[in-house]
Amino acid sequence: MKTLTTVTIVSMALMFSVAAGAADEKASDGTSQAANAQKTAKAPARPVYQPPKLDKPARTVGGGSRGSKDKVPALFVVAPEHVGQTTSESPSLFYFIDRVPDPSIRVEFTLLDEDSVEPLVDTVLPTPKRAGVHRIRLADHGVTLAAGSEYEWSVSLVLDPNERSKDIVATSWIDRVPASGELKSRLASEGSTAAVFAEEGLWYDAIGALSDQIDDDPGNVQLAEQRADLLRQVGLDTIAAGAVQ
């Protein structure tokens, strides 16, 4: 009888041990699955840019150039060859420089309305302290883009203030368009993501949204690679290579 009782107790102990182990394993699996789900949820969708159908004449876009001296960097606007679109009143513009310029070189930003003679903005930018992609916030310059108007913008490296013909200039165009019903619906359900903007043909909104994420999480390699991929989609391979270094 004593032997039977001991066996029973041992059996019950083993059963409790197995059950506890299963519960722990299940809890561990659940935690792992939750962590994986959270990780997946944080991974942004890959932006795939669909160029808009433009009913206006093509504009001349200057992709970038390099001076003859080693101290002169290569300069590019972060924009497609066609007129890029935005729905924002005061979007961000971006340019790329492959090295820190010499202190003697001045960096200037100019914004022109297609119908105006005088520039809306003509200012000196802070000298970049690092190579890579740099942001110009139009809101910082008090600029509001009008819907339906195209604007020419440029970044210049002024090598000699007394001889402006030596300037290195990278130029592009931006067109503010109204948000479509489809875009509003997608933003309401999917959020203001780079993927949504890219698929809707809104270059400046897409690159701006992705750059916002990078600013918030500068060590995120996945975001840097996604921006590089977006740049390659419009032929900006040189910028893409430098942007992830």
Residue 175 within a domain: yes
Q: What is the mean pLDDT of residues 58-82?
A: 72
- Name the residue type at position 62: G
Residue 142 within a domain: yes
Q: Are strands 132-137 and 150-158 parallel, antiparallel or unpaired?
A: unpaired
At 31, which helix (H) or strand (E)? helix 2-42
**Long-range contacts, stretch 62-66, CB < 8 angstroms, 24+ apart:** 62/154, 62/169, 62/170, 62/171, 62/172, 63/170, 64/96, 64/170, 64/238, 65/168, 65/169, 65/170, 66/168
In this prediction, residue 155 carries a pLDDT of 97
| pLDDT of 168 strictly over 50 | yes
Residue 163 within a domain: yes
Q: What is the mean pLDDT of residues 9-35?
A: 48
In this prediction, residue 143 carries a pLDDT of 95
- Name the residue type at position 92: S
Distance CA 101, CA 157 (A): 9
| pLDDT of 88 strictly over 50 | yes
CATH number of the domain bearing residue 128: 2.60.40.1220
Distance CA 118, CA 106 (A): 21
Residue 129 within a domain: yes
Residue 19 within a domain: no
Residue 137 within a domain: yes
29-43, 73-87, 161-175, 198-212: range with lowest mean pLDDT: 29-43
Q: For residue range 24-33, what is the model confidence (pLDDT) as tens digits?
A: 554 445 445 5
- 162 vs 34 pLDDT, higher one: 162
| pLDDT of 14 strictly over 60 | no
| pLDDT of 8 strictly over 70 | no
Residues across the chain:
245
Number of domains in the chain: 1
- Per-chain mean pLDDT for the chain: 83
Distance CA 239, CA 134 (A): 11
**Long-range contacts, stretch 34-43, CB < 8 angstroms, 24+ apart:** 43/222
Residue 28 within a domain: no
List the domain range (segments joined by +) for residue 123: 64-243
How large is the angle between the packed helices 221-233 and 203-216, nearest 10 degrees? 160
Residue 30 within a domain: no
In this prediction, residue 225 carries a pLDDT of 95
